[in-house]
Amino acid sequence: MVKQLNSLIKASLFYLIAFTLAMLLAVFGQRLGQFITVATMFTPLVAVLLMLLVVTRDGYTRAGWQALRLHRLGLRRWGLAVFGPLLVLSCTYVSVWSTGIGRPHWAALGETIAMGGVVSLLLNLIIDTILSLGEEIGWRGYLLPHLLPLGRTRALLLSGFVHGLWHLPIMLLTPFYHQSGDRLLVAVLFLLSTTCGGVFFGYLRLTSGSVWPAVLAHGAFNAIWGLFTAITVATSSPVLLEYLAGESGVITLIGIALMAGWLLYRWQEQPHAVQAAEPLTGESFA
C-alpha cells in the first residue's frame, strides 16, 4: 500500500500495471485464440481495481469510486457519442465506395436493413459497449482525470496515445489483432487514430462529468465499424482497404482528426458551453 501519491504518479502506476498485464497476455495467453482480444480489453479494469484496492486504497472510500464517474449517466452526451462514430465511419466508407476501392455487399446490406439486422446491430452495440467498459473505466475513468495537471489538451492527447501503445503487444506479438498489411505501418496509423480518438472520448468524459458517454462512443465505434466491414467488399486489395478504411485507415484517421480538431476548437471558443470535470485536487486545469 502506498499513500500520498500525486495524480501523475498514480497515472503512471496505473498504466504500468495495465500495459504489463497486456504484455503478459500477449506473450503467455495465445492459447486463448481470438478470446485473447476480449481478455486484453479488461486489463485496464483490473489495473484500476489494483490501484484502488491495493496500491492507494482509495477504493475503501466512497470518493475513490465516485472519481471514476460511474454513478452519473451523462445522458446529454449520448447523442454525440453515437453520432460522432456514425458520421466518421459513414464518410469513410462512402468515400471508399465512391472511389471503387470497395463496394457495398448489397445482400448483406439488405439483411442489415431488415428488422433482424437492426436487432442484430443493437445487440452488437450493447455487447461492444459492455466490452468497452473494461477499457474506458481505465483510460477515461481513471487515467484521464489523473493526467489533467498536464493541461487539458495534453491530457486528452496523451490518454489517447498511451491507449494506443497499450494495444501494441497484442498487435505486434500475436496473430489475432490487425494481422492484415504491414504491421509497423498499421501500428503507426493506429497510434495516430487512438491519439485523436482520445480527444473525442475524453471530451465526452470531461464535458459530461461521466464515463458512460465515452464507454458508449467506444462501443458505438466498434459496432458501426464492424457493420461497415461486414457490408463492404474489397474490389482490388483487402490490404489496401485496411490501409484506407480499416479501424486505423488513412481516411478513418482523417475523419477522427477533423472531429478532434473541431471539438478542441469549440472548447476553446465556447468554454462556457461545456462543463469541466471536477478536478481531483481542487485545482482548475486549463
pLDDT in tens, 12-48: 999 999 999 999 999 999 899 889 999 999 999 999 9
pLDDT in tens, 183-220: 888 899 999 999 999 999 999 999 999 999 999 999 99
In a domain, 123, yes or no: yes
Q: Answer yes or no: is pLDDT of 5 > 60.
A: yes
Q: What is the pLDDT of residue 283?
A: 35
Positive or negative, the CA dihedral 257, 211, 146, 278 is positive
Tally of domains in the chain: 1
In a domain, 278, yes or no: no
In a domain, 265, yes or no: yes
In a domain, 46, yes or no: yes
In a domain, 286, yes or no: no
Q: Three cell numbers at 37?
A: 482480444
What is d(CA 228, CA 113) in angstroms, rounded to the nearest whole number?
Answer: 12
Cβ(199)–Cβ(147) under 8 Å? no
Q: Indicate the pLDDT class of residue 246, thresholds 50, 70 and 90.
A: confident
Q: 122: domain range?
A: 7-273
Nearest one of 130, 201, 206, 187 to 159, comparing CA atoms: 201
In a domain, 2, yes or no: no
DSSP string, 99-160: HTSEEE-HHHHHHHHSHHHHHHHHHHHHHHHHHHHHHHHHIIIIIHHHHGGG-HHHHHHHHH
Query: Strand 232-234 relative to strand 102-104: parallel, antiparallel, unpaired?
Result: antiparallel
Amino acid at 34: Q
In a domain, 279, yes or no: no
Query: Quick check: pTM over 0.95?
Result: no
217 three-state secondary structure: helix
Beta bridge partners of 102: 234
Q: What is the pLDDT of residue 267?
A: 84
Nearest one of 123, 77, 148 to 219, comparing CA atoms: 123
In a domain, 125, yes or no: yes
